[in-house]
Amino acid sequence: MPRSRPVAAVSSTPAAAGPATTPAPRSTPTLAEVDHLVGLQSQVPTTPYPGLWSRLEGFRTDHLANRFDDRSVTRIAVMRGTVHLVTADDALELPGVLRPLLESGVRVGSVHAKALVGTDLGDVAAAAQDLLAEAPLTSTDLGRLLGERWPDVHPQHLAYTARCYLPLVQVTPRGVWGASGPGTTTTWTTADAWFGRPSRSLRDPDERFEALVRLVRRYLAAFGPATVMDAQRWSGLTGLRDVVGHLRPELTTFTGPDGKELLDLPGAPRPGADAPAPLALVAEFDNLVLGHADRTRVVDDVRRKAITTVNGQVPGTVLVDGYVAATWKVRRSGSRPATSPGAVAQLDVTPLGHTFTPAQRAALEERGGELLRFVAPEATEHVVAVGAG
């Protein structure tokens, strides 16, 4: 399957990592792509939609919305402790694989950890599970109910403990394209309750190690070639060298331009260093940009600082020849929402020290217009506005 990934030059000698390549949109079922990517970051509920649009030919919003409806996908905190859109199978396994990372959110150095000193976090999690077995609850309501038992702890910290210790999915309609009003407030239930089958706790060390091996193999399938540190940055875990050591006999290795070892699956597609990378519009928070420790293969340090805000927001980006060249944002003009009939939907493109050639600009305007028609089909006008380089 094509990959959104740093590429390596194919030669008889160890290859150097090249820029990121985003294949032209291809015909792949939505669920298969979500599985292939091991999810898409989704702290903003709508970001997976343009993320999948950029990868899949003919993708429509209902292709994902329907998967929410049949509960084959959901949104849950997993890699890096952030909310991702994942398949049902991953929602039932990944929290167990990532438990040390997730539980550290209330154990190590956070404002939550300080407020929870002396509190039995396992008891809080068990009480939360009992409450959620009765009905889904908003984080506010869950914290309030837990506060009846732990009145000396702020409800926010109690609810966050449940988020870190339990596989909590965000129930629909939150995450469904176009949903608004009642029901779209973050509301949790357990993955077990939502899918009607048990999650994998992976308390057995051997079972968890096998799951880690699967996770790293899948990461390389989606984003390789990569270093051990890349896999750790993407997942949020540490100590993956033993896992990679177990996988090593089945991996192909390369040497990057910085001398670091790059790992990949044998037979994985590796376009040559001179292979053209089509201009691509990459969604906010996309793991193509966030999924490596060495992000210079996608964005240089100066531009990386320009696209990462103080509160961790990462905008949509424009890739030219595999590198971040600009950011993009959809906004509305006039008094109506961009999705309302009669509104003007505009794609604001802000170059990051890059001057688009006429051919690049034409490709950007064409692809940008397609994105606008995807996110705002009811708008009467779609405008791509490119700022000065």
CB–CB of 47/284 below 8 Å?
Answer: yes
Calpha distance 222→252 (Å, rounded): 15
Q: What pLDDT shows up at residue 353?
A: 87
With CA atoms as reference, report the closest residue to 47 among 324, 304, 334, 281: 281
- CA 163 to mean position of chain CA atoms: 18
Calpha distance 184→171 (Å, rounded): 9
Q: What pLDDT shows up at residue 96?
A: 97
- The pLDDT tens digits for 227-239 are 999 999 999 999 9
CA angle 29, 52, 80 (to 5 degrees): 110
Calpha distance 378→53 (Å, rounded): 17
With CA atoms as reference, report the closest residue to 374 among 44, 63, 24: 63
Amino acid at 219: Y
Q: Encoding tokens for residue 387?
A: 């700022």
Calpha distance 149→265 (Å, rounded): 50
What residues contact 84, with CB distance under 8 A and at least 6 apart? 39, 40, 41, 42, 75, 76, 77, 78
- The pLDDT tens digits for 257-266 are 788 899 999 9
Residue numbers of the chain with a pLDDT score lower than 70: 1-24, 270-276, 301, 309-311, 334-342, 389
Calpha distance 22→131 (Å, rounded): 44
In the chain, alpha helices (H): 30-36, 48-53, 61-69, 88-97, 99-104, 111-115, 121-134, 139-147, 155-165, 191-195, 205-223, 228-235, 241-247, 287-290, 301-307, 358-375
Q: Encoding tokens for residue 203?
A: 């308390």
Q: What pLDDT shows up at residue 9?
A: 32
CA torsion sign for 371, 372, 376, 378 is negative
Q: What are the structural domain ranges in the chain?
A: 16-195, 313-386
CB–CB of 87/73 below 8 Å?
Answer: yes
